[in-house]
A = this chain, B = another copy of it.
Amino acid sequence: MSTFETIPSVTRDTRYVLTLGCPDTTGIVARISTFLADVGGWIVEAAYHSDADSGWFFTRQAVRADSVSLSLDELRARFAAEVAAELGPETEWRLTSSAEPKDIVLLVSKEGHCLHDIVGRVATGELNARIAAVIGNHEDLRDFTERLDIPFHHVPFPGPGEDKSAAFARVAELTDALNPDAVVLARFMQVLPADLCAAWAGRAINIHHSFLPSFVGARPYHQAFARGVKLIGATCHYVTADLDAGPIIEQDVARVDHADAAADMVLRGRDIEKVVLARGLRWHLENRVLVHGRKTVVFS
């Protein structure tokens, strides 16, 4: 756990955050908002989405915690009994408090730009989170990490084609011991095996350095250079067993031209990777991302 001195420049009131998805029907909003009004909830954020394609309804609502006289557990119990029960068995919902910082484990390789960026955002309080550990398959980022009193674990990986299961088991052991809210593949460069994708479903977040679905797999900037595209991109997505095909949380692009060699694209792409990962990670930690099938609803 990082103990280096940070002076957060962001302070926010504590909020109770409800996220919910269920089959769409008339009157859901009325039911939820009447419930929140009954418990005195002062709504500070409210977002809704009716998905005509899937027939599902999604909402995220944030109320000021100090406007509700119930504890979080009491609120959960009443919501379950008075609202969720009526919305049917397929309904998925969560009620959480924004007060507690979330725990993150970062998986890294040699490239440090995403690590540097997330460390900075934790230090300024932009991310209400703790970096519980950094796990690297190389030693390159140990010095920077440990100087900031963040635990660094080196797990060496065998080369291409060799059996990596022992290395992944060690990564899983170190990670699961910390029970993190997010496992971030911050340019990790190793493909997670299917069992870890399943175990960390909805919590493992990857930053891929292309505008997916273009340029899946290795060396996407070199693929982009060879194709002669005029924009490069980055994609933050949940990790699934299908390589680079998980639900997309966020994407962005930057302009390149004929004067940019592949190495220039690598450099320029870093700035997109950093902001796309940072947005995706923050939205995940603030419960702004609802996954439905292969897609996401993001109440940003």
Residues of chain A touching chain B, judged by Cβ–Cβ distance below 8 Å, are 4-5, 7, 9-10, 26-27, 29-30, 33-34, 36-37, 40-53, 58, 67, 110-113, 116-117, 119-120, 123-124, 126, 140, 143-144, 147-148, 211-215, 225-231, 233, 247-253, 257-259, 261, 263, 267, 270-271, 275, 278, 294-298
Contact = CB atoms under 8 A, between A and B. Distances in A.
A33 B29 contact: yes
B297 A258 contact: yes
Contact of A258 (B227, B253, B261, B296): B296
A213 B227 contact: yes
Contact of A37 (B26, B42, B140): B26
A295 B258 contact: yes
Number of copies: 4
| Binding site secondary structure of chain A | mixed
Contacts of A249: 230
A67 B50 CA distance: 15
A216 B117 CA distance: 29
Nearest to A126: B267
A4 B18 CA distance: 44
Given A36-B30, A120-B120, A143 B110 contact: no
A288 B261 CA distance: 18
A37 B30 contact: yes
5 closest cross-chain pairs (CB), A and B: A116-B120, A228-B295, A27-B37, A30-B33, A29-B33
B29 A143 contact: no
A53 B296 contact: no
Contacts of A46: 29, 48
20 contacts: A4-B143, A5-B144, A9-B110, A9-B111, A10-B267, A26-B40, A29-B36, A46-B48, A116-B116, A116-B120, A117-B117, A126-B267, A211-B211, A211-B231, A212-B229, A213-B215, A227-B294, A228-B294, A231-B233, A258-B297
